[in-house]
Structure 1
Amino acid sequence: MNKPEAARRIIQWAIKLTQFNIEYHPRTAIKAQPFADFIAKSTILEEEGVTDDLERWTIQTNSSSIKKRGGVGVIIITLEGETLKYGVQLTFLAPNNEAEYEEVLTGLRVGKALGIKNLLLQSDSKLIVRQINGEFEAKEDKMKQYLRLAKLLTQEFDRVEFTQILRSQNMGADELEKWSSSKVGPSDTNLKIEVQTRPSTEEVPTFAIQIENSWMTPILSFLQDRRLSQDHEEARKVRKRAVRFTILNGTLYKRGFSMPYLKCVNKEEAKYILEEIHEGICGDHAGPRSLISKVIRTGYF
């Protein structure tokens, strides 16, 4: 700007641009926390959309229920188009709706055992598929237990889609469940039939998270069942805060922006952890901030 020629040109451009009412606003600094929240939300959306439909396994399920035994048939279609078969014989009394839930749970367990991340599960049960998708409501206590267990199992995958198909499109699984429930057994000698002696809902206490009335309760309720408080402001806070948490193998974890996942604990567990960390030759001299840093480095939140 020390040269008169350069200054004159800039003034000329400024005069010409005044007719467009252009205003200059300097870029403000980006605060760290909103930027971290934005990255966390964007990362979740990217993870949900990463898996391609071409890399999706397909599992078709069917079931039957009679007085003394029932059967579950599962057809697995791999990425290469290969077909695998799996059957389960139910030796306990299972009404029709419960048997249909057992077929879906069996399909999810098989998918988990095979290490599948992107799964399309097909069943000819309209009721079960729509309950899992949230279109129908489970009213009976038994159905609620089955629904909760199904949602817990779906968290083991990156992506799961439940669709209803016609019975005519499910003939392979239908034939397989008839073999599983019969006394004679399958004509295919290479097919192995598993025997299930009790309902899957009896395993819920060991599989589910032990929920107590703690700071984790609203977050767990939202992540597991999409339940929120009637208070709109409180519901908004829980929905916003739940983005930073996830459930892995039945345990609630805090997502870390620049650190590994932190296991969430209740008041009693936190007290025990603090006592354990505070013990030692320098325990009495540790300040609050130092103690909290040690807890986080240990892997708890």
Structure 2
Amino acid sequence: FVPRPAEKGQAVADFISELTPATVQPTSEAITETILPDQPGAERLDTSTPVWGLHVDGSANQQGCGAGLVLTTPDGLKIEYALRFDFRTSNNEAEYEALLAGLRLAKSMNAKQIRIHSDSQLIVNQVTADFAAKDASMYAYLSTAHQLLRSFQAYEIKQIPRGENSHADALARLASAINDKVGRKVPVEILAQPSTVTSEACAVRYEDTWMSPIYLYLTNGTLPEDKAQARKLRYRSARYTVINDVLYKRGYTTPYLKCLTAEQGEYILREIHSGVCGDHSGSRSLAYKAFRQGYFWPTMHQDANSLVKRCDKCQRFGNVPHIPAEPLTPIVSPWPFAQWGLDLIGPMPQGKGQVKYAVVAVDYFTKWVEAEPLATITAAKIEDFVWTHICCRFGIPYAIITDNGRQFDSELF
């Protein structure tokens, strides 16, 4: 018993064996140089001479037929060109139309040497005479291509994969997909991020500043409900004006000063003090510099003083002022209660015990005061006062200063 083979598999094998040609033409993907037989003196591409590049591709579908080409100058500048055919063509005819259009464009640009790239195996091999043009239409296209190629000193044609010819392929597909018969410009927009990315918004907090009441009064006539505050605001607003929605302060002998908030003023002072051209000037000079630059805010002097005090470089390397904070007071008394000043005052209105005079002693060091009322001013009374109130309480003084009156310039004293 011999099993019968499957009829379907035998039929497929016979079909493949019958239709497979005896010899297969090899594909030529390497760089091929063509020297036309009727063009004497044609040479290979000279690298010392500028060489132009040409990428061509054709497209034919149900929507229409078109071609795309990219001509590259020796400097690297790319010239893009898209063609739409107003007649029906096959894919091979569209490839030839793209090649012819590219050659005409290169000829008009005075190109001498050209390197052609196409992803069509048929077109490349027919131009290089590896394939024969049997069809009348293909033969006509090939003759026209040879006629245009004679305009160049040398040319080089190469078959490349479709992936390397994507630029010209995109132009060809674009041209074949447009149904309009009028030339069009297609703008290309570059998106920096996906359209699904939402823009983040920052919440801005608005706070009233010292300018808000003045600005509202000058623009809308808004006044506080308090009459005293409203009257005060009217007087203050007379020294300000609004120009292009910006508040300015009027000056008597100076131009208009732009009003700033405290935060803006802090930035201005910081730039003047320690910016690119900053010289770390003092607080008073810093405030006047901001004033001369045309800025104003009420606390500019206080802010300048605070900024200078907080500046680390000014505190580290600034000159230390040796001027005292107040006028110098010489110390004439070396220790407490060593030197006293003594004097009499009166007569005054008579008091209890018929006293109408007083003797007063003041310590030069501590400014301590000792006083006693007297009915009469005699040397004995003065001696008793000094002994009782000064010597017995604070010790013998080093010096007593008087006006040399009779009570002090006596033998008893």
Category of TM-score, reference length = shorter chain:
0.3 to 0.5
Structure richer in helix, relative to its length:
1
State the TM-score, normalized to the length of structure 1.
0.45
Q: Which has the higher contact order (CA 8 A, sep 6+)?
A: 1
In our comparison, the structure showing a higher alpha carbon Rg is: 2
State the TM-score, normalized to the length of structure 2.
0.33
